[in-house]
Amino acid sequence: MGETVTIHGKPVAVNWSPAAERAMAARSQPLLAEMELYFSCLIRKRVRFPNDAEAARFVDATPRLRVSFRPVMTASCRIDPELDKPGLEDFVIVNPAAFVPRWLTIDFRRGAWSGEFGY
């Protein structure tokens, strides 16, 4: 299953598994899927599924799925799996379309959301 959304003027193919479709249908609120590109001493990408986030950042893929792209950075170099701690801030990019991914996939397995995105 899938849709295409436009983020910063660039199309992003969003696909999800049948299991994700069933899990989204069971939710009372749309699922938020945030593609996060992390800049520090390394570049890391991950898909986050926040419960609450700034609504203006997200675009509708379907009535049950909203997606966004968020480049972030820290003031100092650190490699930490818990990147949501204080110090994480939006990274302003002059041409964000150049960094927007081409695709996003979402799955739901063993009671947890997972996702990947790529270029």
Over the stretch 21-74, which tens digit does the pLDDT of each residue have? 999 999 999 999 999 998 877 788 999 999 887 878 899 999 999 999 999 887
Tokens of 113: 């959301």
**φ and ψ at residue 45, rounded to 5 degrees:** -125, 145
**Calpha distance 66→56 (Å, rounded):** 11
Query: 64-94 pLDDT, tens per residue?
Result: 999 999 998 877 666 555 555 556 778 888 8
Q: Phi-psi bin for 8: left (phi > 0), alpha (psi -120 to 50), beta? A: left
Domain count, the chain: 1
Residue 11: give the domain boundaries.
2-118
Question: If we measure between CA atoms, which residue out of 1, 2, 14 comes closest to residue 100?
Answer: 14
Which pTM does this prediction carry? 0.83
Cβ pair 38, 46 in contact under 8 A: yes
**Calpha distance 99→26 (Å, rounded):** 33
